[in-house]
Chains A and B, each alone.
Chain A
Amino acid sequence: MSEYIEHDKNGASVGIVQKRFFTFAHPPERLRLESGAQLGPVTLAYETCGRLSPERDNAVLVLHALSGDSHVAGVYTAEDEKPGWWDFMVGPGKGIDTERCFVICSNVIGGCAGSTGPSSIRPETGRPYGLDFPVVTIGDMVAAQKALIDHLGIRRLLCVVGGSIGGMQVLEWTVRYPERVASAVALATTMRHSALAIAFNEVARQAIMADPHWNRGDYYDGPKPATGLAVARMIGHITYLSDEAMRLKFGRRLQDKSDFSFNFDADFQVESYLRYQGRKFVDRFDANSFLYITKAADYYDLILQHGAGSAVRAFAKARARFLVISFTSDWLYPTYQSREIVKALKKNGRDVSFCEIEADWGHDAFLLPNPRLAALIHGFLERVLREVRTSPDAL
């Protein structure tokens, strides 16, 4: 996912939010990971907006993608110019309406925005984990989120919502904790990565690991592998757009010049855009976190893990109502992958809505202001809220 953070044109906002921390799995009660390794203590950075109803039936858990964090909407201070990454979607009267819903968003484990990850201090050594941080999976991320939801005293979430890697977490929630989610919104996502998606991630990881500053993940005392991480980000950005999006956005236009420079500076706008995105990313993201999170996404295989090879069996346990959305120009997680999810859900007799939204912006479309997307999510959430409130015991 990229950054398209901008303030809402209508000025609607959740206002000032605060990043909070929840720490659990204190040794010796460490969190047991899917790899068999143990991790503890584990801290999750999270933010909330809106109000939890007295019945505690309106909680929506938002799950971020690769480069996101807990800062889903609003600002940290009145002077803060940069709202959360999904500010257009989350707020009063928006797709996820904070007048109606209590929104929770936490940074994934393995991340670098406040939750325990490779850049966190390892208690045993007093130094950052680096590559000693255990490999975490999408399932581990979800297990940690569930500890947070327990801590917040929420028995059942109204909805889990997320796109891309966040969408994988959505799917995982519905089969891992079926009785804890009334509904699920899976955007531009997949049950498992295609070879194409893995290939791009691998090239991105190689870019980081080829940077001499990476130093096998042990760089926290010295210069960061900034070049490698920037290149990794550039590769990501190519996959988030589409041929159409790039043609419309850049074409072959040159950046601040009328002729070629006949050297290797950024001549084309697309080059300059990618370099800018790469540079910007380095300031806020940890290279090791990039490795861990992309690996978790590549390993993820709902079909294998929960269905022993059958997508239908994988969703047999799911109880939620589903809204699945894909975008026409998304070539990273194309529509056919969403349709496979829909098909498996239908075969299980699950309540599922699906829409393929016409959009030029490729995989990143779910992060861009889109009235249709917001209206779909809004309508879906209102229905689920109504159904949950008319028969509170029915999932």
Chain B
Amino acid sequence: MKSEHPRMRYDLQIIASWIEPGAQVMDLGCGEGELLSYLIARKGVRGEGIEKNEEKAAHCIERGLSVLQGDMNVEVLDYPEDRFDYVILSQTLQQVYEPDVLIRAMLRIGRRGIVSFPNFSHWGIRLQVFFTGYAPVSRQLPYQWYDTPNIRVITLNDFRRFIRQIGLRILREAAIDTHSEDRYGKIVRFLPNLRATYGIFMIGK
């Protein structure tokens, strides 16, 4: 594989750092395969992906990745139990219609799940609502209310509670401060629900 990842999106860097070499990985909504190809090249994982968009799925296959074009909510159902070590859902949870169904399915086909999403309780968003009275628009959530693909509003606190409620466990988490496509960022340890732009969680049964 060509060295095509000098630095990838910061949240993906964190996710990659959580995955041990040689693991079996499924990336749901893998886009153009940035994370997968990184994990294969740098960590020697066996990676597969699912991507709905024909163009992007084709691009992945052309660059030598094992990727299925399809709807992740449906495709995820067909794998045998514990087929993967990690099932990743990065920056897509806010667009999922039935998050509990998908997350359970992820933990059926994989031992661990890794989920990342933009944190809706970041102070910048809170201030926008407070001062402007309009639905917030940020670099992480750059849409107007009428054209957003994001149907869910999630905060780090919400996600923790949700995982507890559906009977799963959070094994690891990182709150990060970065912009959506940025290669750089930092871990937020103090008041993460207020100061982090993204949350990344590793979950298990």
Contacts and interface: CB of A to CB of B under 8 A. Distances in A.
Interface stretch (A148-156, A166-174, A255-263, A372-380): A372-380
B91 interface: no
Contacts of B65: 353, 383
B78 A379 contact: no
B79 interface: yes
Interface string A357-394: 11000000000000010011011101100100000000
B48 A323 contact: no
B39 to A, nearest CB: 15
Contacts, number: 59
Contacts of B62: 375-376, 378-379
Interface of B: 48, 54, 57-58, 60-70, 75, 78-80, 83
A353 B61 contact: yes
Interface stretch (A12-20, A74-82, A139-147, A340-348): A340-348
Interface in A304-353: 321, 323, 339, 342-343, 346-349, 351-353
Of A356, A378, A379, the most chain B CB neighbours within 10 A belong to: A379
A347 B60 CA distance: 22
A378 B58 CA distance: 11
Interface in A163-182: none
12 contacts: A342-B68, A343-B78, A346-B78, A347-B79, A353-B68, A355-B57, A355-B69, A376-B62, A378-B62, A379-B61, A380-B64, A386-B64
B48 to A, nearest CB: 7
A219 interface: no
6 nearest interchain CB pairs?
A383-B64, A379-B62, A346-B78, A375-B62, A354-B68, A355-B69
Interface residues of A, number: 26
Given A323-B61, A378-B62, A383-B64, A351 B69 contact: no
A379 B48 contact: no
A349 B68 contact: no
Contacts of B66: 321, 351-353, 383
Contacts of B58: 355, 357, 372, 375-376
Contact of A358 (B54, B61, B67): B54
B61 A357 contact: no
B73 to A, nearest CB: 14
Contact of A379 (B63, B70, B83): B63
Contact of B69 (A321, A354, A379): A354
Of B54, B60, B68, the most chain A CB neighbours within 10 A belong to: B68
Given A355-B61, A358-B54, A346 B67 contact: no
B48 A351 contact: yes
A343 to B, nearest CB: 5
Given A323-B61, A376-B58, A386-B64, A354 B70 contact: yes
